[in-house]
Amino acid sequence: MQAFMVERYGDKDGMRAREIPTPQVGADDVLVRIHAASVNPLDLKLRDGDFKAVLPYRLPFVLGNDLAGVVTQVGPAVTRFAVGDEVYARPDKDRIGTFAELIAVRQDDVAAKPSALTMAEAASLPLVALTSWQALVERAHVQPGQKVLVHAGSGGVGTIAIQLAKQLGAHVATTASTTKVELVRELGADVVVDYRKQDFETVLDGYDVVLDTLGGETLRKSLRVLKPGGQVISIAGPPDAALARELGASAVLRLAMSALSFGTRRRAARRGVTYSFLFMQADGGQLSELTPLIDAGHIRPVVDRVFPFGQTLEAMEYVEKGRAKAGKVVVTMT
């Protein structure tokens, strides 16, 4: 089968298409013929080796973290799926590889595809939808009436997080550029801060939760818009020791990660708020909980552009250069 593989870390020149064997199917696996996969910033970081200290993939490896497709084979222990089922998934971090024609995925990481969506639309969702769910539902426990700030509302995570927060009953603010203001309002944002014209720190105050997708100065300012007891959950800031424990890192690496986030955690503590880093985990059960919201139209995917499978490298370059206007970039195999 054809697959796009990282042969060496560094940049786009270390990745190319190759012919590789069909994946082996374990007892608890489903083999999926991939119809569509989406490109995430995470793919670029993995390609460049940014996470090789904590995610030491053995080169060469197939890249890709989202999929939608059809089950073509099931392992003997599989009970939830059958050949012919349409599914979508974010494979476990140890078994990525969706820029390929086929992939073997544990059944617990897979969910039935939302019937209302095309394969391309479904493939745009797993990673960003799970990130939003794990940040807002699992970690923040967002309640009706709480105030939630989602940064970069027109991005892949932002477009879904805004919609999910509204479904949870939150008052939602977001940041966006001038040309994206109308889009994020349509997605449900109650307050939109045009970052080209305003500093969100001077406009917003008293928030319960901030979902930080940008890091850096945005993260530092986010600490100041929270009310006492509030929390910043970041997917772009410095990692913490909790992440190292989740990834099974050594004691030395746990200390190093804790040191990276020490300054941020100290600033948060001084303001009576908390900071944590989120590294999304694969979870088919959570995707299944999101599916009814998607089929009912309460959460809709935002797809910027679709590339054919043969142009996967071009799709990654499109994302890397910031050409996507809103939402996700998808690659289709058929």
Residues 122-159: pLDDT tens digits? 999 999 999 999 999 999 999 999 999 999 999 999 99
User: What confidence score (pLDDT) does residue 179 get?
Assistant: 96
**DSSP symbols for 58-88:** PSSEE----EEEEEEEE-TT--S--TT-EEE
Q: Is residue 259 part of a domain?
A: yes
120 and 199 part of one domain: no
CATH classification at residue 13: 3.90.180.10
CA 259 to chain centre: 25
Count Cα neighbours of 135 within 13 Å in the Cβ-side half-sphere.
35
Domain range for 180 is 127-277
User: What confidence score (pLDDT) does residue 55 get?
Assistant: 83
CATH classification at residue 264: 3.40.50.720
Count Cα neighbours of 129 within 13 Å in the Cβ-side half-sphere.
31
88 and 72 part of one domain: yes
Q: How far apart are CA 54 and CA 68, in angstroms?
A: 27
Measured CA to CA in angstroms, residue 185 lies from 22, 94, 176, 204, 297 at distances of: 45, 37, 10, 17, 16
219 and 313 part of one domain: no
* Residue of 122, 125, 62 lying closest to 312 (CA atoms): 62
316 and 252 part of one domain: no
Measured CA to CA in angstroms, residue 296 lies from 29, 126, 131, 242, 303 at distances of: 29, 17, 20, 35, 18
Q: Is residue 286 part of a domain?
A: no
pLDDT tops 90 at residue 277: yes
Question: Of 239, 261, 277, which one is at a domain's C-terminal end?
Answer: 277
User: What confidence score (pLDDT) does residue 58 get?
Assistant: 93
107 and 141 part of one domain: no
141 and 262 part of one domain: yes
Q: Is residue 288 part of a domain?
A: no
Q: How far apart are CA 155 and CA 158, in angstroms?
A: 5
SS3 category, 328: strand
17 and 157 part of one domain: no
Q: Is residue 290 part of a domain?
A: no
Q: Is residue 289 part of a domain?
A: no
What is the helix (H) or strand (E) element at residue 51, kind and residue range?
none
39 and 140 part of one domain: no
* Residue of 185, 126, 130, 120 lying closest to 153 (CA atoms): 185
pLDDT tops 90 at residue 247: no
Total number of domains constituting the chain: 2
133 and 253 part of one domain: yes
pLDDT tops 90 at residue 259: no
Q: Is residue 285 part of a domain?
A: no
Q: How far apart are CA 306 and CA 319, in angstroms?
A: 12
160 and 34 part of one domain: no
Q: Which tens digits make up the pLDDT trace of 66-105? A: 999 999 999 999 999 999 999 999 999 999 999 999 999 9
82 and 160 part of one domain: no
Q: Is residue 154 part of a domain?
A: yes
Q: Which tens digits make up the pLDDT trace of 183-216? A: 999 999 999 999 999 999 999 999 999 999 999 9
Q: Is residue 195 part of a domain?
A: yes
65 and 186 part of one domain: no
